[in-house]
Each structure stands twice: as structure tokens, then as C-alpha cells.
Structure 1
Amino acid sequence: MEEVDKILIHALRQSGTGVAEDIQSVKQFTSELIVEAVVRCVRVINPALGGGLSPSLPPGMSARFRVGMGLAQACQDLGYKGEIGYQTFLYSNEPEIRALLMFLVEKLPRESAEASDQPAGQSNTLHRTLFITYRSRKAARLQKRIQEQLSSAPGTPSPGSGGAGSGGAGSDLAQLLLSFQGAGPGDLLPKGTHFTHTQKFTFTQVTLMTLTLTQVTHELKERERANQEKEDSLQVKRQTVELLPDAHNNLAKLQTLVEASAKRLVGLAAQWEKHRDPLIQEHRRLKELCTNQDVESSRQLSEIKDLHEKIRETAEKAKKKESVYKQLISELENLPKDVSRSAYTLRILEIVGNIKKQKEEITKDAKKDESVRKSYKYLAALHENCSQLIQTIEDTGTILREIRDLEEQIETESGNKTVANLERILADYKAVREENSALGSKVREG
């Protein structure tokens, strides 16, 4: 959003909005700056629609509400489809303001036509002064050159001579120059440069008239806007005067309306607190549950590590027995092939006896050694613990996802500046009450 805000601020500065250099984000826009930016953009997009809009907020709350409603209606007339009202400008919301400014900037014309809607500053005045000075000097040089060429031409009289024989062509040329340039008889042009100087002079006059027309048009728009503001002020005063005959009832109605607005604000604040407290409690509960599950997971991981260590030791013992088995197999293969059947029988009986002895020893060890019996139990419980661990990890992931969702909701509510807007609404409510008190005192004094 930082790049988008920079583009928006640059476009607003180009349209004539006085955005300070230290403002780098839409979040830093005040209500006054938002109103000015919207009015400037509307004037550039549609001068007829924005001519009656004021770029500054008046001090009175009722006038501010009217300005906000007028701006909202103008934006809707331009085709804005989003939700908009006076609260958009007086109690700004960063996402809504960014969307509105993006819409207006996209509507701005691609050419630099917006410059004609701005008042002439020092730069335009300086350019105009330089142009007039340059034009006067060039006209003086051109007049001097014409006089020199006419005085050096054969058969052409000087400005002071009045010869009858050779004065016909000179007088015709002098009359032509007088009708073209409005200069004295001495400011005569040579025949070969007549069309060139006529074209230059015409172009200069057209340029000058265009600049004058632009300035006059701009002054006319400014005066129309000032007249519109005065008419609006007059309309407000007229409505105020109309309310004076029944001032008591009107003040009672206004007081009722203000009290209803205050109750609505209090109700909204109570609803916000009602929604906010359960969310905070749920967040704390989930955080505590997550902490407990982390402790339980750490304990189970420790047990699993112990079981893995025992499994590793058992695997090493199995490898040793496997090596012994292979060694016995190799020794068996190296035995002579002519061993009698009785020898095999005795060997088998010996092995069977050894197996029985080993079973008896294992049984005795299992009865005596508690660790061996626990090893078997741990091995059996390993699979069950692994499944429980997987389930615990899944539950932990679900809880973390819910926590992230709650944090995003909290960040969204914080970005909407709900608390700040409520404070500003309460401040405006107090200002309205003060204005009502002032009006009531004026009515009682009158």
C-alpha cells in the first residue's frame, strides 16, 4: 500500500492539493486535507459539478455536515459505487478514503488540463511579465529595422519628407502599415516581409488573447464559486430566520435529535465493548490452552526420545546377535560333511535344550527385572503415543490458525480507527451542543 499511497499523493499534488512533504501515507490525511483533495479532483474532472464545492471545512458542525453530504453526492454523480456519506469525510476510514481517492485519480484527465483550474501563482505572473517585456523589446527592434530599410530604399521618402513625385508608393505602404500595426507613418515594412510579419503579429495577438481568455475564464469561475458560497450562506441564514418565529419548538426538536444521536453513539460504543470483551477473553483462553498443549507436547516428545534411545539399544543388540548367527552359519558350512546322523541328532537335542534354558532364563528375568517388562510395555505403547502426538500437532495447528484469524480481525478493527472515530464523534457532539446553546442564548436575547 505504500507505493499506492505515494502515487495517489503525487497525483493529488499535480491536481493542486496542498499535501505537505512530510505526509507519506493516506493514513496521515486529516479531514480538512481529504475534503480539499476530493474537491480539487472533482473540479478537474467536472468543473460544473465542482464549482459549488468549498475546498475547506467551515467551523460550524451543521455546515460541515452539509459540506460532507455535498461531496458524497458529487462523488456519486461521478459514478462512485462504494458506500459514501458525510461520515466518510468527517470520520475518515483509511481503506474507504484510499478507495475513493483511487477512483478520483483514475477519473482525472490524462492531459495537463487541470492546470487551468488553478489560480495563477507567482510562476505564471513571472512568465507573463517576461513575455510582455520580450514582446515590447522585439517590437522596438523591428520598428527600428523597418525605418532603416525604408530610409535606405531608393525613391522612398523619409518620414519627414513630403515630396509629391515619389510619395505615392511610400504613402500607400505607410497606410498599409498603419492599418496593420497601428503605428506611426515612420513604422513602414518592406514589401518582401509583409506576409511574414503579418503572420507573426497575428499569432502573437491570438496567443495573447488566449491567455487573457483563460485568465478571465478562471476569474469568472472563482467569482461564480464565491457567489455560490455566499448564496449557500444566505440560504442557511434565511432558513435560520424562518426558524426564529417558532424557535422554542425548533430548539426542542433539535435537542431531541441531538439526544437521539448521542444515545445512538452510546449504544454503538456499548455494542463495540460487548463484542470486544468476549473476543479478548477467547484470545486469552486459547493462548493459555496453547501454552498447556505446548508443555504436554514437550513432555511427550521427551518420552518418545527415551523410547527411541531404548529402541536403538535393542537394535544394536539384534545386530550383534545377527553377526553371531552369521558366524555360526559359516562355521556350520565349514564342518565336515561326513558327520553321522547321530551327531546331528545330538546337536539338535542340544540346541533344543539350550532354547528351553533360554526361555526359562527369559521368564525368570522378566519376573525379576521390572525394566525388561516395562520395555515391552513401552514398545507396545509407542504406536499409540505416536498417533496421539499426531493428533496433538493437528489440534495445535488448528488453534494457531484460529489465533492468526483473531489477530487479523484485531488488526482490521485497529486499522479502521474505530476508537478514534468514536472520540471524534463525541467531540463533534459536544461542539453541536455548544452551538445549540449559543443559538438558544441568541434567540432568548433577541
Structure 2
Amino acid sequence: MDEAHEILLSSLKSSGVSLPVGVSSIKDISSIGLVSLCAQSLRLILDSEPSSFPTSLPAATSERFRICAELATAIKSLGYREELGFHQFLYPSDEESYKLVRFLVERLSKVPSEDKIVCMTGQGQTIGNISESETPSSNDKKNVCQEGTSQGPSEVLFMNPKEIVLSDESMLPRNIPEHLLEEERMKLEQTFNSEQPEEKEKLIQLKEIEQEIEATLAEISKREAEHLDLLIELEQQPKLPFRKSYVDRITEITKNSRKLDADVIQILKETRELQLESNSIQERLNRTYAVVEEIVFREAKKDAVGRQAYRLLTSIHDNFLQIADTILATDRAQREAACLEQKIAAFSSRYLDIAKLQADLDSIRKENKLLEQKCHKYLPIS
């Protein structure tokens, strides 16, 4: 479990989350540290401003409750299915903190990263956002973004209609419909083909070459993005121990398991022997009692002394049966008590700190009294 804690904390650190000083396991995280980790993670996941999720708790108890409740609401909105409220932050348990940190690490690993390129015209207008897989070449950027550069028909012919930029008086408005741009492109293409028919075949070949170049560049960009993602994922992977340590641990676990199996077999053997011995003694006692009971019963028919002895014999036999039943019931009750103690110990690790809870409640009552006094001070007396 400690190794799993170290892996989660290492993943948080590699994602850009600052860990509290001296924290090497989730068991070491205090209430303030848990709030700091969750606030930093939410900033990265939601890409929000630093002021939206404070990483420290104020002195006022009511403000602490409010901040923790806001953190719980934000995390629940991300899909956290476990029970979550302000008390999980103010009175954290190891199990709940581990589940919460594991969820945040999973969400941080899914945060997308996009590289956007923005081209500006001479008037400072944005032409568009181009994703990493659609990054144009340097010549294309010059054709699209260069200020005051006029383009010939061949340049306009092979450009995306959404990216056509004209200069001087021929510049088109930005909100022109796409079908009009397509019609203009077709007209320019027809004019060019009619004026220079001998260049048509060369332009077709050039267009095919440019398409192949664009496809190759797109494939290269895609492969580079995949390579970068794999490098980031490799860096985020925990540093695993050497193979020899795994072999040693497996050997030790196997050895301990065999020892436990031998102990269990020995215990079962002793239990069977005790059970057989107990059954043998029980049968012998029953046979002895039957013989004695028959002899005493014969004497009881003769005189009063025999009847008195018979009553004592049956009373002693009944008392011993009750004693045996009591011993068995006591043993069963002790086993049930031990089982309940284990359950209580497991539950006590998740139980809230009553003293701390009472201190926070007293602090809230004190703050409420101060607020009431301020309200009475500023309200007019009727």
C-alpha cells in the first residue's frame, strides 16, 4: 500500500502539483495538505484562475467549511462517485484520502494539451486557429499571414477558401459566405485554364505533389505528437525496482505462504485429534453413567438411602451437562467478541475526531455570536 501511495504522489508531482513538505505517503497528508492538493489539481483539470480554488484554509471556521464544501462540489461535478463533503477535508481518513487522490490523478492524466497557431492580418484580425496536426509549412504561413502580399490565381487556386486573404481594395470581407468563395475560386480557375491551357497539366501535377506534401507533413506532425505523448507518459511512469528485488519479494512471499500452509495443516491435525479425544471421553462417560445409573436404580427400589443416592446421581449428571453447555457457549461468545473487536478497530480508523469536531462547533457558535452583536450594533433600535 505504501508503494501505491508513493506512485500516486509521484504522478501528482509530475502533473505539476506541489506536494506539502515532508509528505511521502497519503497517510502523512493533513487536512490543510489535502485541501492544497485538491485545489491545485482542480486548477489544472478545469484550467481555472488561481483565485477560484484557494490552496490554504483561513482562520475562520465558517470560511473553512465553505471552501471545503466548494472543493467537494467541484470534484463531484467531475464524476467522483464516492461520498464527499466538507468533513472529508476537515477530518480526513487514510482510505478516503487515498480514493480522492487516485481519482484526481486519473483526471489529471486525461487533461488535453493543444497547440494553437494564430495568424494575424495587417489590420490585426485573426484568420483562424490551426491545430498541431494542421500546422502549415513556412511558405504557407507567408502566403496566409504576410501583410499586403497579393496572390496570383495559382496561389488562390490551391488554398482553402476559409484561408484566402486578399490585400488592398481587393480584400474580401471576413463574413463572406463560403459558397461565394468557392464560386470565385472556380471562376479564377476557369480564367486561368482558358488563358494558359498548356499549364493545366502541370498545375494538376503540382496540386497532386502539394497534396502529397501536406499529407506527409500531417503524418509527421501526428507522429511527433504521438512521440511527445509517449515521452510524457514515460516520464510519468513510476520508477520500478530492479527485477531481482521482485524475484526476492516473490520468493519471500512464497516461503511465508508455505510456512502458513504448514501451520494451518498442523492446527487442523491437532483440532481433529482433540475432537477425537473429546468424543472418546464423552462416550466413555456416557457408558460409565449408564452402568452406574442402572446399579443405583436397582438399590433405589430397595430402601430410602438408595433413592436418595439415585437423586444425587441424576442431579450431578444434569449439573455437569449444564456446565459443559456453558463452557461451549462461553467459547462461542469469546470468538464472536474477538470478531466484533476487529470490526470496531477497523471502523475506528474512519471515525471522526470528536474533540476536533466539538472545537470547530464551539468556534462556529462563537463567530455567530460576534455576528449577532455586530448586527444589533448597526440595526436601528425600534
Judging by fraction of residues, say which structure has more helix.
1
Q: TM-score range by the shorter chain?
A: 0.3 to 0.5
- Structure with bigger gyration radius: 1
Q: Which has the higher contact order (CA 8 A, sep 6+)?
A: 1
Q: TM-score, normalised by structure 2?
A: 0.39
